[in-house]
Structure 1
């Protein structure tokens, strides 16, 4: 049985991930971090609420832990991060991997 991946209609009902200063990375850093192209990362930002750009042409601000969790399809971890549970072992593991304080 395959698990259903959350899509754009799911995210519309959930708040975006709040990005702390220490969590924010740009598009170039996100590409390097997860090894995916810019188009894919921008789509993930919109679909999963892990990043944004305020106006067209502006720099993207992306949640480093969020993009890692999406890259690894850790939907439980992503929802824990979204709800602010940074001390949860599943989220803390990613934060420590990235060298970010919980």
Structure 2
């Protein structure tokens, strides 16, 4: 999958069995902030969070916390960088460029 798909309800869950993305406090944005940054709808972002495993939610009533670098990777269709991030390789040049782009430290 090279780019995010708007209507992804019919796609299988890409992250089934995948390890979660470990997030540092500075990496996290809210769903509202993600909507503002991307111009996408709340529904689209919720779908991306589930499909690509780029968020966490401690329980059903808790706010969704989204990894800003992971969201950026999904927006750019860079699934290789996303998998490197998922594996914890934050210093790989392909991953680091997204952190640099967002002004975040790795």
TM-score of Structure 1 vs Structure 2, range by shorter chain: 0.7 to 0.9
Name the SS of the counterpart of 1:81 in structure 2. Answer: helix
Cα offsets for 1:21-54 (capped at 9, x unmatched)? 1101100111122221111111111111100222
Match of 2:51 in 1: 47
Ranked by relative contact order (alpha carbons within 8 Å, sequence separation 6 or more), the top structure is: 2
Which consecutive unaligned segments of at least 5 residues does structure 2 have?
A: 5-10
Which consecutive unaligned segments of at least 5 residues does structure 1 have?
A: none
What is the TM-score when the length of structure 1 is the normalising length? 0.87
Distance 1:14 1:24 in 2: 19
- CA-atom RMSD in angstroms: 2.0
Poorly superposed stretches of 4+, deviation over 6 Å: none
What is the TM-score when the length of structure 2 is the normalising length? 0.84
Name the SS of the counterpart of 1:47 in structure 2. Answer: helix
